[in-house]
Structure 1
Amino acid sequence: MIINTGGRTDTVQYYTKWLIKRFEEGYVLSRNPLFPNKVTSYELTPEKVDCVIFCSKNYEPILNEINKITEKFNTYFHYTITAYGKDVEPGVPTIEKSIETLKKLSNIIGKKRLAWRYDPILLTKKYTIQQHVEIFEMIAKEVAPYIDRCIFSFVEMYKKLEKNMPEIIPLTDTDKNILAKSLGEVSAKYGLYIQTCGTNKKYSNYGINISGCITTDIIGNANKTVFKDLKHKGMREGCHCIESRDIGAYDACMNGCKYCYAIIQILKKHLKIINTIILILH
């Protein structure tokens, strides 16, 4: 079983004590977001959990206690650092502070268990292609020696996103190719392994790999462990990740990122289930 601590909310930044306590007590309750009355209990023990996946935009609150988990479990960490400021990510530390914290985390857990996420990539009049490339290189130069890989993705244009960010400029295929080519060149310059996430689009001609961000190979190599290569459907369309069990709750993150579509995803899935039930009843 793979436990994902950051798929629903930033538990590391805002619910650190709760997260540590759950691992200390050896269990966690997870409520089904589609059916609130359904609650699942997961055993948080090395015998039951194959790997714990972390995803956060600020690991500072957990640095002094992360060994309580890493010493007992296989782990892998995703650290999201983007080009955006407080106008888009109001609850997220500055890029400089995030880089500093990433280096501290890497020194604690080792670079093989740490990936830098540069996503989602979106365009506005302020956050242009040139702006992305310049900031990406600035971050890459600093973090390349401290991470296993870089993972990037392009924003998905949901209707609610258009409402929350009317300033957003839809990415064209040409935009994506220019960005992919530039990110590939920067990554090659600093010896950084780079891959896509959540897409079947291939940019291999730019030196970019296609893979899931949570695969048995990635977490196995990071922890010097061999996992069974199980067949799976991924977490959503275009996803190549092995399935995991999310803990925490949706709509509990205080980062306030304007592009966040975690809630949109769950509502979309909810509507699909309702429509299926209606068809069956008719």
Structure 2
Amino acid sequence: MILNTGMRTDIPAFYSEWFMNRIRAGYVLVRNPYRQDWITRYELDPDVVDCISFCTKNPAPMLKHLDELSRFNQYWFVTITSYGNDIEPNVPPKEKVMQDFITLSKAVGVNCIGWRYDPIFVDSTYTVERHISDFEEMCRTLSGYTTVCVISFIDMYEKVLRNFPQVRTVTPQERIAIGKAFADIGKRYGITIKVCAEGNDLEPYGVDCNGCMTKETFEAAIGCSLNVPKKRSLRSECSCILGTDIGAYDTCAHLCRYCYANSNRNNVRRNMSLHDPASPFLVGTLHDGEVIHQAEQVSWIDNQLTFF
């Protein structure tokens, strides 16, 4: 199985101590975000966890733990954009994150790390031209340390509109201009541009539209084939493996204005105040009478076939 950590919050940035405590304990408890009384226990064992997938805007707090994590296969997505603190209030400067990206790439290997430049929105400050210019500068820095960059355009989720009311949809013309330019730039620097759940509109311009956290992505990171059960994707337009996540919504202190995982700042503050690094839950603890359901976990690795 693939263990996901980053669809609901940024564990490496804010909860690295908790995560490593769970690795040492060998299990984690997760509440279903849509049914709080349903609790699942996942074993954190390399025999059944084929790869841990991280998504973060700040990998720095986890760098000191990489040796301890080395018994697990890993795949890292690090988000680095051109936005400033007006949009991403608590994200470190992109120059610092890029240097940490390079450190991480050297430690885990170029096949085990990808760059995300998303979600993309356009306004009078973050124009199409600025996105293209900043993207090329970042490619120049990150070239040789990743072979992939995933892009997506902002979605008008209810949470996004509530926290970022002035944002607008990126027009089809802007999407094509950005996608084509990014693909051309990426080609010069050895970086394939992929889209996340954006359909196939950018395929004619050199963008890979087959998904980002796909079976092939994890096979390249692990170095062997995977027998992935069918219907592991959460969305019909997405071919990624996203079925298991140990995070919790309303817990990310980056407080990015475009975030779909936080409903509001008050909820984030409340949940972070309930966080205990020693708890098996990211937020809160087990209550009397609650039942823990053991997850069905099996390795998907096909030991008969390897890439190397």
TM-score, normalised on structure 2?
0.82
How far did residue 233 of structure 1 move? 5.4
How far did residue 60 of structure 1 move? 0.6
Q: Structure 1 stretch 102-111 or stretch 226-235: which is displaced more?
A: 226-235
- 2:30 and 2:162 mapped to 1: Cα distance? 30
How far did residue 160 of structure 1 move? 3.7
Encode CA deviations 1:85-116: one digit per residue, 9 max, x unaligned: 00000110111111111011111111110000
- Aligned partners of 1:113 and 1:148 also within 8 Å: no
Q: Which amino acid aligns with 1:51?
A: C
Please name the residue that 1:4 is paired with. 4
Asked if residue 217 in structure 1 is aligned to residue 216 in structure 2, the reply is: yes
More helix by share: 1
- 1:7 and 1:160 mapped to 2: Cα distance? 15
Q: Secondary structure at the match of 1:136?
A: helix
Q: Secondary structure at the match of 1:91?
A: coil
- 2:107 and 2:190 mapped to 1: Cα distance? 22
Gap regions ≥5 residues in structure 1? 265-282
How far did residue 53 of structure 1 move? 0.2
Q: Which amino acid aligns with 1:64?
A: K
Asked if residue 258 in structure 1 is aligned to residue 257 in structure 2, the reply is: yes
Please name the residue that 1:119 is paired with. 118
Gap regions ≥5 residues in structure 2? 264-308
Q: Which amino acid aligns with 2:128?
A: I
Q: Which amino acid aligns with 2:138?
A: I
Q: Structure 1 stretch 225-234 or stretch 124-133: which is displaced more?
A: 225-234
Larger RCO: 1 or 2 (CA < 8 Å, sep 6+)? 2
Encode CA deviations 1:202-237: one digit per residue, 9 max, x unaligned: 312211111222122111112212101542252224
- 2:165 and 2:228 mapped to 1: Cα distance? 43
Matches within 5 A, 1:187-226: 187-226=186-225
- Aligned partners of 1:232 and 1:243 also within 8 Å: no
Matches within 5 A, 1:265-276: none
- Aligned partners of 2:214 and 2:241 also within 8 Å: yes
- Aligned partners of 1:30 and 1:41 also within 8 Å: yes
- 2:234 and 2:171 mapped to 1: Cα distance? 25
Give the share of equivalent positions with the same residue, in percent.
38
- Aligned partners of 1:152 and 1:195 also within 8 Å: yes
How far did residue 263 of structure 1 move? 4.5
Q: Which amino acid aligns with 2:61?
A: P
Please name the residue that 1:272 is paired with. none
Matches within 5 A, 1:121-270: 121-232=120-231, 234-263=233-262
Please name the residue that 1:279 is paired with. none
Task: Give runs of ≥4 in structure 1 deviating > 6 Å.
Answer: none
How far did residue 188 of structure 1 move? 1.3
Q: Secondary structure at the match of 1:115?
A: strand
- 2:232 and 2:198 mapped to 1: Cα distance? 13
- 1:46 and 1:32 mapped to 2: Cα distance? 23
Please name the residue that 1:66 is paired with. 66
Please name the residue that 1:49 is paired with. 49
Q: Structure 1 stretch 177-186 or stretch 196-205: which is displaced more?
A: 196-205
- Aligned partners of 1:91 and 1:255 also within 8 Å: yes
- 1:214 and 1:163 mapped to 2: Cα distance? 28
- 1:88 and 1:235 mapped to 2: Cα distance? 28
Q: CA RMSD in A?
A: 1.4
